[in-house]
Amino acid sequence: MRLDPSRERAILDATQELLSEVGFDRMSIDQIARRASASKATIYRRWPGKEALVADLICNHIKIDVPPPPDTGSMREDLVGAVTGFCEVLRRRHDMIFGLLPSLLTNASLAAALRGNLRRPDVTGTAPLIERARERGEPVGRIDPARLRTVVEALVWHRLLVTGEPLDREFAEEAVDGTLLPLIRSWTGAGV
Amino acid sequence: MRLDPSRERAILDATQELLSEVGFDRMSIDQIARRASASKATIYRRWPGKEALVADLICNHIKIDVPPPPDTGSMREDLVGAVTGFCEVLRRRHDMIFGLLPSLLTNASLAAALRGNLRRPDVTGTAPLIERARERGEPVGRIDPARLRTVVEALVWHRLLVTGEPLDREFAEEAVDGTLLPLIRSWTGAGV
Amino acid sequence: MRLDPSRERAILDATQELLSEVGFDRMSIDQIARRASASKATIYRRWPGKEALVADLICNHIKIDVPPPPDTGSMREDLVGAVTGFCEVLRRRHDMIFGLLPSLLTNASLAAALRGNLRRPDVTGTAPLIERARERGEPVGRIDPARLRTVVEALVWHRLLVTGEPLDREFAEEAVDGTLLPLIRSWTGAGV
Amino acid sequence: MRLDPSRERAILDATQELLSEVGFDRMSIDQIARRASASKATIYRRWPGKEALVADLICNHIKIDVPPPPDTGSMREDLVGAVTGFCEVLRRRHDMIFGLLPSLLTNASLAAALRGNLRRPDVTGTAPLIERARERGEPVGRIDPARLRTVVEALVWHRLLVTGEPLDREFAEEAVDGTLLPLIRSWTGAGV
DNA sequence: GAATAATCGAGACGGTACGTCACGTCTTGGG
DNA sequence: CCCAAGACGTGACGTACCGTCTCGATTATTC
């Protein structure tokens, strides 16, 4: 008999629940086993430990999808939409991210895997936005979308982890008007 | 007899050593006690647990001092120096920061205290830099130093925590030339 | 300043209370100090430890007095009275005896001291009883009062510690009629 | 997997050794675990604490067997043999008995169980002794063996616990000649 | 009377053992 | 062969006492 996929699902589901409820540290393998009506051996047969289980969960079994920001016809509104969308993703996964980060910091391989999942190319959806602006004839010069995305991500993560202030609309507008649009203008001007 | 400050010092010193040596998770209270030639009771008399001990260590007993970046006579070099200095601080405390962040995420009051310590007004030393440029007659317009500092911090933290790439000189120059200087130019131009 | 006798009293009183309430093992010096509003140092200044403190309490500060059994005019009734009186003493000190016995068994010097107090010559009051019977002209032959006392004590302690059955009047009469009186008769007959 | 009986044996054996070597108070659960190559959890899975473990050991896993006293052909010698045998049992288990008694006094259910073990009907082997005397034609009348056994036990326990004097042959002969034989004679005479 | 010295309460100190909990491994019996 | 159940050895946790110690404050003698 081969490994039963239904057990894997039950274990991953239980893990996801507990990760949000009590966080990574306070979540024990015994708890997961109990909630999944699984045996600890069944868990350890598939994953070498708690970190690997959670890493697998985050990287391969949870879709962190950013719905593509709507085309509003205005680059500023598109940008606010992109920032807000990314904020929304982090806020929705807030419990899980906060439950997971400890191991991200102590376990390099988990961190690497997690980063791969969190930074999929399109996570902020800023590239199409620039493209649309260009198509509308707005002056956007030669903007590297990767660099723009990095700044968006950096501002949001910084807000979430370092300042701890809320990821609200006010923040999004401030970021767009105070930093992103000036940057785009500067890159555009420099490119001319 | 009141709590003996010398014991507190010994315990905090031992904690700091072990935090860097083995990390937060692998560091046990018994180890700390042994290394500090203290008793576990003496530790628990002061702090309710490992997290609180480490939090206190980081927040109140470690100076995260950024040596003011040198005056190079050029705003670009000053900026590279500021970014490099902040990177240096985080890199020097890397083990400790990574050892600490777990509790930052589960303990709200610790997180608040920690943020207060990590974000002291002058941590990146960007404000005097702008001032010097202005005195040299460079066109810096009306730049809000807080906003500039936020961008610097965001880029460095993002590099450290999210991308995980090294905080080297190449990164610093890329950040200055690709993001910070364009921003400053844009803000300055807008201010004209 | 010399040692304050009032502190000694307070400490001994607290010890006696706690000994009865929670027993020797569960009684801590901290508890005694707290209840006596004394400092631990004050206790250790007088006694080397818990065992010695309790030993001193039992041996020198508690009177285990057996009220002399009444003269009933009948040797049988006098004997029942003596047994009952001894039972009464043990029953009254029941909690304390049971709280103390543990250390009696592991601490030889305490045990010796305690035995000295528990076995003061007159503890069962059987000697005068025999004397009165002799004076009334009853045939009591040459009875060694020490031996009689030993049997009385043995039967009562055995009942208390080994069988655990109640020290009631039924037991006293059974002991007198089934064992003590036959013994006295036999000793008397042998002496004739 | 069910509780492994071999672990139970190893733990009980280690407990028995340590109980005799260092006594109840100085014996720690960690010591027992180490000597039994067991884990503390394995111990606590079976017994709620040290007292219960030792109680179980004494009550259910140690045979306090009194080898039936030899048939010497003389009732006096048989009696001396019986008393000596019982003394021997207590002396052999001396360390363990003394290590145990604390919990006997604070734990009622343990005390009951222990009494059941210590007072199995044949513990002093006095009943067959009387029977043999009767068969040899010696005048023993209607002696209640339970009552005789109680006196034997009471005298030995009293010697052990209260007077603390040695359980030697001198004591045994004194008890037989001074108390037991007179009692038997008296009961026999009363029965005539 | 002021100075001296011992005792007081309070409680911190280095230790040791406690009983609990989670880890990751291993064993059993059923499907 | 996998499964659930759960016992196993290991080791850290946070608590409770032990007996020693160091504090100021409060006395009672001594000068």
pLDDT in tens, A18-60: 988 888 878 999 999 999 999 999 999 999 988 889 888 877 8
Do the Cβ atoms of D143 and D190 come closer than 8 Å? no
**Average pLDDT score, chain D:** 84
pLDDT band of C120, cuts 50, 70, 90: low
What does DSSP assign to residue A142?
Answer: S
pLDDT tops 70 at residue C179: yes
State whether residue A71 is helix, strand or coil.
coil
Do the Cβ atoms of B114 and B64 come closer than 8 Å? no
Half-sphere exposure of A34 (CA within 13 A, CB side): 6
Is the Cβ atom of B1 within 7 Å of strand F at any atom? Answer: yes
pLDDT band of D104, cuts 50, 70, 90: low
The total of other beta-carbon atoms located within 10 Å of residue B23's CB is 17
**pLDDT value, residue B192:** 41
Distance CA C31, CA D122 (A): 45
pLDDT band of C162, cuts 50, 70, 90: confident
pLDDT tops 80 at residue C121: no
Residue found under tokens 């930074």 = A119
Residue with smallest Cα–C1' gap to F1? A1
Is the Cβ atom of D3 within 7 Å of strand E at any atom? Answer: no
pLDDT tops 80 at residue D140: yes
pLDDT tops 50 at residue D109: yes
In tens, the pLDDT along D72-103 reads 989 999 999 999 988 988 887 776 776 666 55
- Using CB atoms within 10 Å of the CB of residue A59, give its burial: 0 to 12 exposed, 13 to 18 middle, 19+ buried: middle
**Sign of CA pseudo-dihedral D99, D102, D104, D107:** negative
Query: Which residue among C104, C155, C186 places its CB closest to the CB of D185?
Result: C186
- Using CB atoms within 10 Å of the CB of residue D20, give its burial: 0 to 12 exposed, 13 to 18 middle, 19+ buried: middle
Is B146 within 8 Å of chain A by CB?
A: no
Distance CA B92, CA B163 (A): 18
pLDDT tops 70 at residue D105: no
The share of chain C scoring above pLDDT 70, in percent, equals 83
Is B171 within 8 Å of chain A by CB?
A: no
State whether residue C24 is helix, strand or coil.
helix
- Using CB atoms within 10 Å of the CB of residue C128, give its burial: 0 to 12 exposed, 13 to 18 middle, 19+ buried: middle
Is A66 within 8 Å of chain B by CB?
A: no
pLDDT tops 80 at residue A131: yes
CA distances (Å), origin D127, targets B150, B170, D67, D81, D89? 96, 100, 14, 13, 18
Closest CA to C125 of C177, C88, C160: C88
Do the Cβ atoms of A90 and A167 come closer than 8 Å? yes
**Sign of CA pseudo-dihedral D41, D47, D49, D53:** negative
Is the Cβ atom of A162 within 7 Å of strand F at any atom? Answer: no
Distance CA A149, CA B1 (A): 58
The share of chain D scoring above pLDDT 90, in percent, equals 42
**pLDDT value, residue A120:** 65
Q: CA of A162 to nearest chain B CA: how many angstroms apart?
A: 6
In tens, the pLDDT along B79-109 reads 999 999 889 888 877 767 766 665 566 556 5
Highest mean pLDDT among A77-86, A160-169, D32-41 belongs to D32-41
**pLDDT value, residue B117:** 66
Distance CA C66, CA C119 (A): 11
- As assigned by CATH, the class of the D5-60 domain is mainly alpha
CA distances (Å), origin B42, targets A172, B6, B10, B12? 48, 12, 11, 12
Q: Which helix (H) or strand (E) holds D104?
A: helix D94-106
**pLDDT value, residue B142:** 78
Distance CA C78, CA C72 (A): 6
**pLDDT value, residue A3:** 81
Q: Rounded to the nearest 5 degrees, what angle is found at the Cα of B130, between the Cα atoms of B127 and B131?
A: 85
Span CA (D42) to C1' (F11), Å: 14
Pairwise pLDDT comparison (B44 vs D125), residue with the higher score: B44
Which residues in range 84-103 of chain C are in contact with strand E, contact meaning CB within 7 A of any of its atoms? none
CA distances (Å), origin C163, targets A187, D51, D161? 98, 20, 15
**How many helices (H) and strands (E) would you count in chain A?**
11, 0
Is the Cβ atom of A45 within 7 Å of strand E at any atom? Answer: no
Distance CA D183, CA D189 (A): 10
Pairwise pLDDT comparison (A164 vs A14), residue with the higher score: A14
pLDDT band of B177, cuts 50, 70, 90: very high
Residues in chain C: 192
DSSP string, C74-88: -HHHHHHHHHHHHHH
Q: Nearest nucleotide (C1') to the CA of residue A46?
A: F2
Highest mean pLDDT among B114-118, C130-134, D171-175 belongs to D171-175
**pLDDT value, residue B80:** 94
Both tokens of residue A81?
């939409």
Touching chains B and D? (3+ Cβ pairs < 8 A)? no
Domain ranges of chain D: 5-60, 75-191
Is B166 within 8 Å of chain A by CB?
A: no
Is A154 within 8 Å of chain B by CB?
A: yes
Closest CA to D20 of D86, D94, D90: D94
pLDDT tops 50 at residue C192: no
Do the Cβ atoms of C97 and C117 come closer than 8 Å? no
**pLDDT value, residue B102:** 58
B139: left (phi over 0), alpha (psi -120 to 50) or beta: beta
pLDDT tops 60 at residue A122: yes
The total of other beta-carbon atoms located within 10 Å of residue A146's CB is 10
Nearest CA in chain D to C177: D187
Distance CA C169, CA B133 (A): 106
- The b/e string for D121-160 (b: 16+ C-beta within 10 A; e otherwise) is eebbbbbebbebbeeeeeebeebebebbbbbbbbbbbbbb
pLDDT tops 90 at residue C51: no
Is D32 within 8 Å of chain C by CB?
A: no
Closest CA to D69 of D142, D127, D116, D120: D127
Distance CA A34, CA A38 (A): 6
In tens, the pLDDT along C57-107 reads 877 887 766 677 788 989 999 999 999 988 988 887 776 776 666 566 656
Which residues in range 9-38 of chain A are in contact with strand E, contact meaning CB within 7 A of any of its atoms? 27-31
Interface test with D, best of C50, C152, C183 (most D CBs within 10 A): C183
Distance CA B147, CA A134 (A): 28
**pLDDT value, residue A106:** 59
Q: Nearest nucleotide (C1') to the CA of residue B39?
A: E14
Residue B5: partners with Cβ closer than 8 Å, 6 or more residues away? none
**pLDDT value, residue B52:** 86
Task: Tell me which of A99-108, A144-153, B44-53, C75-84 is least confident.
Answer: A99-108
Highest mean pLDDT among B27-31, B53-57, D19-23, D161-165 belongs to B27-31
Distance CA C11, CA D63 (A): 44
pLDDT band of D112, cuts 50, 70, 90: low
Distance CA A19, CA C139 (A): 91
Is the Cβ atom of B52 within 7 Å of strand F at any atom? Answer: no
Is the Cβ atom of C1 within 7 Å of strand F at any atom? Answer: yes
pLDDT band of D119, cuts 50, 70, 90: low
Q: What is the mean pLDDT of residues A144-157?
A: 92
D102 and C99: CB-CB below 8 Å?
no
**pLDDT value, residue C191:** 47
**pLDDT value, residue B191:** 47
**pLDDT value, residue B101:** 65
Closest CA to A185 of B156, B184, B139: B184
pLDDT tops 80 at residue D187: yes
Distance CA D100, CA D107 (A): 11
pLDDT band of D192, cuts 50, 70, 90: very low
pLDDT band of B110, cuts 50, 70, 90: low
pLDDT tops 70 at residue A66: no
The total of other beta-carbon atoms located within 10 Å of residue A69's CB is 22
pLDDT tops 90 at residue C178: yes
